[in-house]
C-alpha cells in the first residue's frame, strides 16, 4: 500500500512537473490533518490529504484545500504596519520589524511601570497553537490576564474533565464504538479539537448506533437511530433526565459506580429531582424519546459521547460538561477500547509547563480579572472578555491600558459587539498580528504580519488530548511574515525576559520535545509520534482527582463555594424565565452554526470558500416565515434587546418553528471601508455579555439562547450603514 501511494506521488510530480512534495500538517482550523503540499517554481501548486496520516487518513476539508489562496491572497499582510491618523482611518505606514517590536516593547514596559503588569492583556484566537508562547510571555511579565476563547470553547471541557475524571475523555473511534452519542456537535462540517469527521463516519459504516442531540436536523441527525430535538439551553435537564432513567431502571454499571465514583447518594438525590415528565416539559423532548436514547446508550457497549461548544456556550456550561462525563462513567464506558479513552500524550513539555504558569506569583494571580467571580476558570488561567472590556472602559477594578491580540478578531467573535468596539476604541495602545486586515486590526496601533501554517515549522497538536504530536514543516516564505512563536521570542528579549527564552525558536522546539529524547530535527524525519496507549488505567491508579474517583460530587467546586452536584439552569432569556420579553421577542436564537470553508471569522475573503456561503444566512422554519411574511432569499432584520442586524433568510423545516438559527462572525472583507461592515450582519451585536448571565463558575458566554424577533427588511432600509 505504501509503495502504491508513493508511486502516486511520484506520478503527480512527473505529470504536472512539480519540483517537490512537502509533507506537513494542516492548521486551517484546530489542526492536525496530514497533507501533501506540492511545490512548483517556489510556489504552492496543490494540496491534498496524506493517506498515511493517523488523524485524517487522506481526507481533507475545503479549508485545507483552499489554504494556498490565503497564502497568496492579494490582501495578505506582508510587512509590519503602524497606524497613521485616528483609529479606523484605514491609513497605514510600512515599518520594519525592529521598529514594530521596539514600539510594542516600549509600551509594555511603560504600562508595567506605571500601572502594573496586569494592565497589559495578551490575547489569542481559537486553535492557533500559540497559547503556550503567549502564556509564557504574559506570565513572565507578571500579567495574569491572557484573553482566549477558552472561557466558552474547549477550556470548559478540559477544566471540568480534570476536576471530574482527571483529563478530557475522547471517543476511541480507532476501536470502533458500538454506539455514539453526538451532542451539540455536527462533525460533518466541524472537525474541531481532537475530532475529525472521517473516523466518525467509519464507525457508523461499521454498524455503530447513533444518538444525536441537537435542536436542528443536521446530517448526522438525519442518519441517527434516535434524534433528541431539544429546546436550546436545556442540555443539562436532558442529561439529568437520561441519568434518572439509567439509574432507576438499573441500567448503570453497578460495580464501577460502587468502586470508582464519589458522591453517589447526593448525586442520585439530585438526579431524582428530574423525573421524565418534568424533563419533557423543560426540554420539549418527548419522554419516550429520552427513555429510548438512554436505554440504547446504556446497553450498547462500548459507547462514547462526542460533544461540541453548543453545550458550553450557555449559562449551564460547566454542569453540562460534568453531566455528560457522569453518563460516560455510570454506563461503564470510561477508559476502555471503543469507549471514552483517557489518552496519554507523548513525553513532551506540556502547554502548562511551557506557558510558565508556575512563574506567576500568587499575588499577581489574585489580580486576574474576574477571578473572584469565575473561580474555576481562574484556576485554569482563563478570563472572561467582559471583565477586560470593563477594565478598559471603566478602569475597574484597575485600568487595562494595552492589548496585544494574535490570531484573534474579537470584534466578530465575542458577544455584545458594540461593547467590544467601545473597548478597542478606548484602549490606549493595541497591537494585532494577523494574516490580513480585519475589523479588529483596523483599530490597532501596530499590525504585524503573521505567518500561515504553510510558512512555519512547529510541534503540532501538542496541546490536545488525543495522544499525538504531529509535524508541521515550513513550505514557503511570504514577504516578512513571521510565526507567532518567533515574534514573541524576539519581543521577550526586548522586555527583559531573554534568559527565559531562546536565541531562535528551533531551540524552543527542542525544549518542548526534550522529555521524549528527540529534538526538532528528529521530529522532522517522522510525520507524528504517539503517546503510550493503555486502557483501564484506573484499575491500578484510580482517577487523577482529589478522591482518586470519578467525582459525581466535585470536591474542588465545593471548596470554591459552588454547588458540587451538577444541576440545570434555565437560560437568562427564555419563554419561562422572561415571559414578558418573550412576548415581544418570540424566537429563540441559536448562533454559531458553522459554515464549511470558514473558521469563525477567518477565510471569508477567499474565493473558493466564499462560494460556499456568499451571504450571511439565518434559517427560519417555513411556518414562522409565512407568519412573518418572509420568503426564501429575502433580506430580513433580526432584532434583540441589544440591537439589530440584517441577514438573508433561508427556509428550513428541520427545527422547531419557535427557533431561528443564524451564522456567526460574518463580515465583509471585500468592503474596503475600514469598518468592513462589522455591524451589518454581525450576530454578536444581538448577544448579551452581562456577567450575571454567564456560567457562574467559568464565565462562559451565553450565545445559544437569546430571544429575538424577525421581519422583512423594508425597501431602501439600511441597517448599520
132-172 pLDDT, tens digit per residue, is 999 999 999 999 999 999 899 989 999 999 999 999 999 99
Q: Report the pLDDT value the prediction gives residue 462, as an integer from 0 to 100.
A: 84
Residue 643 domain-assigned (yes or no): yes
Both 208 and 327 in one domain: the answer is yes
For 301-364, strand residue ranges (E) read 303-307, 340-341
* φ/ψ (deg, to 5) at 75: -95, 10
Residue 689 domain-assigned (yes or no): yes
Report how far residue 411's alpha carbon sits from residue 405's, in angstroms, rounded to the nearest whole number: 12
Both 251 and 377 in one domain: the answer is no
Both 360 and 336 in one domain: the answer is no
Both 52 and 87 in one domain: the answer is no
Residue 3 has pLDDT above 80, yes or no: no
Asked if residues 555 and 168 have their Cβ atoms less than 8 Å apart, the reply is no
CATH of the domain at 449: 3.40.50.740
Asked if residues 56 and 415 have their Cβ atoms less than 8 Å apart, the reply is no
Report how far residue 626's alpha carbon sits from residue 631's, in angstroms, rounded to the nearest whole number: 7
Q: Helix 505-513 vs helix 484-494: angle between axes, to the nearest 10 degrees?
A: 110
Q: Report the pLDDT value the prediction gives residue 592, as an integer from 0 to 100.
A: 85
Q: Which three cell numbers stand for residue 571?
A: 437560560
Residue 288 has pLDDT above 90, yes or no: yes
Both 624 and 484 in one domain: the answer is no
Residue 601 has pLDDT above 80, yes or no: yes
Both 300 and 434 in one domain: the answer is no
Residue 290 has pLDDT above 70, yes or no: yes
Q: Report the pLDDT value the prediction gives residue 452, as an integer from 0 to 100.
A: 96
Residue 715 has pLDDT above 80, yes or no: no
Domain count, the chain: 4
Q: Average pLDDT of 657-661?
A: 98
Q: Report the pLDDT value the prediction gives residue 595, as an integer from 0 to 100.
A: 82
Both 308 and 442 in one domain: the answer is no
Asked if residues 581 and 573 have their Cβ atoms less than 8 Å apart, the reply is yes
Q: Report the pLDDT value the prediction gives residue 611, as an integer from 0 to 100.
A: 87
Both 240 and 374 in one domain: the answer is no
The residue among 285, 312, 341 that closes a domain is: 341
Residue 718 has pLDDT above 70, yes or no: no
Percent of the chain with pLDDT over 70: 98
Split at pLDDT 50, 70, 90, the class of 1 is very low
364-391 pLDDT, tens digit per residue, is 999 999 999 999 999 999 999 999 999 9
pTM listed for this prediction: 0.95
Q: Report the pLDDT value the prediction gives residue 5, as an integer from 0 to 100.
A: 55
Buried b (16+ CB within 10 A) or exposed e, 617-650: bbbbbeebbeebebeeebbbbbbbebbbbbbbbe
Residue 555 domain-assigned (yes or no): no
The conformation of residue 310, written as its DSSP 8-state character, comes to G
Residue 714 has pLDDT above 90, yes or no: no
Q: Which three cell numbers stand for residue 107?
A: 509600551
Asked if residues 31 and 464 have their Cβ atoms less than 8 Å apart, the reply is no
| Bond from prior residue into 257 cis (ω within 30 degrees of 0) | no
CATH of the domain at 337: 3.40.228.10
The residue among 278, 312, 341 that closes a domain is: 341
Both 379 and 510 in one domain: the answer is yes
String of DSSP letters for 537-566: THHHH--SSTTSSEESS-HHHHHHTS-SS-
Q: Report the pLDDT value the prediction gives residue 6, as an integer from 0 to 100.
A: 55
The SS3 of residue 444 is: coil
Please state, as a whole number, how many other Cβ atoms lie within 10 Å of the Cβ of residue 7. 10
Q: Report the pLDDT value the prediction gives residue 194, as an integer from 0 to 100.
A: 84
Show the domain range for 262.
170-341
Q: Average pLDDT of 399-420?
A: 96
Q: Helix 287-299 vs helix 276-283: angle between axes, to the nearest 10 degrees?
A: 110
Beta bridge partners of 331: none
CATH of the domain at 47: 3.30.200.210
Q: What is the mean pLDDT of the chain?
A: 94
Lowest model confidence (mean pLDDT) among 78-82, 185-189, 305-309, 519-523: 185-189
Please state, as a whole number, how many other Cβ atoms lie within 10 Å of the Cβ of residue 277. 9
Please state, as a whole number, how many other Cβ atoms lie within 10 Å of the Cβ of residue 217. 16
Report how far residue 649's alpha carbon sits from residue 712's, in angstroms, rounded to the nearest whole number: 9
Asked if residues 608 and 66 have their Cβ atoms less than 8 Å apart, the reply is yes
Split at pLDDT 50, 70, 90, the class of 521 is very high
Split at pLDDT 50, 70, 90, the class of 4 is very low
Both 359 and 396 in one domain: the answer is yes
Residue 459 domain-assigned (yes or no): no
CA distances from 403 to 266, 340, 431, 595 (A): 45, 39, 6, 29
Q: Report the pLDDT value the prediction gives residue 2, as an integer from 0 to 100.
A: 44
Split at pLDDT 50, 70, 90, the class of 400 is very high
Amino acid at each position: 500500500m505504501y509503495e502504491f501511494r508513493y508511486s502516486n506521488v511520484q506520478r503527480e510530480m512527473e505529470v504536472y512537473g512539480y519540483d517537490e512534495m512537502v509533507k506537513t500538517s494542516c492548521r486551517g482550523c484546530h489542526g492536525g490533518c496530514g497533507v501533501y503540499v506540492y511545490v512548483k517554481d517556489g510556489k504552492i501548486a496543490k494540496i491534498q490529504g496524506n493517506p498515511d496520516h493517523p488523524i485524517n487518513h487522506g481526507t481533507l476539508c475545503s479549508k485545507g484545500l483552499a489554504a494556498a489562496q490565503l497564502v497568496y491572497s492579494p490582501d495578505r499582510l506582508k510587512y509590519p504596519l503602524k497606524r497613521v491618523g485616528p483609529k479606523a482611518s484605514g491609513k497605514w505606514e510600512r515599518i520594519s520589524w525592529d521598529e514594530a517590536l521596539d514600539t510594542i516593547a516600549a509600551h509594555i514596559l511603560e504600562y508595567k511601570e506605571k500601572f502594573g503588569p496586569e494592565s497589559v492583556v495578551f490575547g489569542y484566537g481559537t486553535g492557533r497553537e500559540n497559547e503556550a508562547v503567549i502564556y509564557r510571555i504574559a506570565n513572565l511579565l507578571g500579567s495574569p490576564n491572557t484573553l482566549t476563547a477558552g472561557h466558552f470553547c474547549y477550556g470548559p471541557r478540559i477544566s471540568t474533565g480534570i476536576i471530574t475524571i482527571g483529563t478530557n475523555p475522547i471517543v476511541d473511534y480507532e476501536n470502533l464504538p458500538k454506539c455514539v452519542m453526538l451532542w451539540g456537535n455536527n462533525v460533518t462540517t466541524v472537525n474541531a479539537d481532537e475530532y475529525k469527521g472521517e473516523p466518525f463516519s467509519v464507525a457508523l459504516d461499521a454498524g455503530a448506533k447513533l444518538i444525536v442531540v441537537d435542536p436542528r436536523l443536521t446530517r448526522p441527525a438525519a442518519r441517527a437511530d434516535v434524534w433528541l430535538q431539544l429546546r436550546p439551553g436545556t442540555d443539562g435537564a436532558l442529561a439529568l433526565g437520561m441519568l434518572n432513567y439509567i439509574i432507576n431502571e438499573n441500567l448503570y454499571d453497578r460495580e464501577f459506580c460502587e468502586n470508582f465514583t464519589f458522591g453517589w447518594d447526593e448525586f442520585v438525590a439530585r438526579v431524582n429531582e428530574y423525573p421524565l415528565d418534568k424533563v419533557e416539559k423543560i426540554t420539549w423532548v418527548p419522554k419516550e424519546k429520552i427513555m429510548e436514547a438512554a436505554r440504547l446508550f446504556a446497553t450498547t457497549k462500548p459507547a462514547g459521547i462526542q460533544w461540541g461548544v453548543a453545550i458550553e456556550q450557555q449559562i449551564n456550561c460547566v454542569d453540562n460538561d460534568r453531566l455528560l462525563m457522569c453518563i460516560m462513567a455510570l454506563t461503564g464506558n470510561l477508559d476502555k477500547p471503543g469507549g471514552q479513552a483517557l489518552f496519554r500524550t507523548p513525553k513532551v513539555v506540556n502547554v502548562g509547563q511551557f506557558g510558565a504558569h508556575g512563574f506567576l506569583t500568587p499575588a499577581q494571580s489574585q489580580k486576574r480579572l474576574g477571578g473572584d467571580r469565575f473561580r474555576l476558570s481562574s484556576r485554569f488561567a482563563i478570563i472572561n472578555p467582559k471583565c477586560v472590556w470593563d477594565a478598559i472602559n471603566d478602569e475597574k477594578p484597575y485600568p487595562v491600558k494595552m492589548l496585544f491580540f494574535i490570531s484573534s478578531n474579537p470584534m466578530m467573535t465575542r458577544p455584545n459587539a458594540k461593547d467590544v468596539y467601545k473597548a478597542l476604541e478606548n484602549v490606549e495602545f493595541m497591537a494585532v498580528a494577523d494574516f490580513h486586515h480585519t475589523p479588529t486590526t483596523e483599530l490597532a496601533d501596530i499590525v504585524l504580519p503573521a505567518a500561515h501554517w504553510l510558512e512555519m515549522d512547529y510541534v503540532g497538536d501538542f496541546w490536545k488530548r488525543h495522544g499525538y504530536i504531529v509535524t508541521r514543516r515550513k513550505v514557503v516564505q511570504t514577504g516578512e511574515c513571521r510565526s507567532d512563536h518567533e515574534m514573541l521570542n524576539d519581543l521577550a528579549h526586548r522586555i527583559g525576559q531573554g534568559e527565559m527564552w531562546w536565541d531562535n525558536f528551533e531551540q524552543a522546539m527542542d525544549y518542548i520535545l526534550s522529555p521524549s529524547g528527540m529534538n526538532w530535527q528528529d521530529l522532522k524525519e517522522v510525520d507524528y509520534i504517539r503517546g503510550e496507549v493503555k486502557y483501564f488505567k484506573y484499575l491500578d491508579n484510580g482517577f487523577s482527582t482529589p478522591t482518586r474517583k470519578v467525582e459525581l460530587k466535585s470536591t474542588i467546586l465545593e471548596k470554591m463555594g459552588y454547588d458540587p452536584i451538577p444541576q440545570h439552569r434555565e437560560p437568562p432569556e427564555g419563554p419561562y424565565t422572561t415571559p414578558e420579553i418573550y412576548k415581544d421577542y418570540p424566537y429563540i436564537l441559536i448562533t454559531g452554526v458553522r459554515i464549511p470553508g470558514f473558521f469563525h471569522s477567518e477565510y471569508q475573503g477567499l474565493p473558493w470558500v466564499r462560494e460556499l456561503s456568499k451571504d450571511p444566512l439565518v434559517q427560519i422554519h417555513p411556518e414562522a416565515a409565512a407568519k412573518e411574511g418572509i420568503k426564501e432569499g429575502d433580506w430580513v432584520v433580526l432584532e434583540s434587546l441589544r440591537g439589530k442586524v440584517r441577514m438573508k433568510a433561508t427556509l428550513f423545516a428541520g427545527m422547531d418553528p419557535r427557533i431561528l438559527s443564524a451564522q456567526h462572525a460574518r463580515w465583509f472583507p471585500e468592503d474596503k471601508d475600514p469598518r468592513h461592515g462589522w455591524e451589518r450582519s454581525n450576530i454578536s451585536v444581538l448577544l448579551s455579555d452581562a456577567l450575571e448571565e454567564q456560567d457562574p463558575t467559568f464565565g462562559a458566554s451565553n450565545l445559544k439562547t437569546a430571544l429575538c424577533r424577525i421581519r422583512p427588511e423594508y425597501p431602501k432600509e439600511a441597517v448599520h450603514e
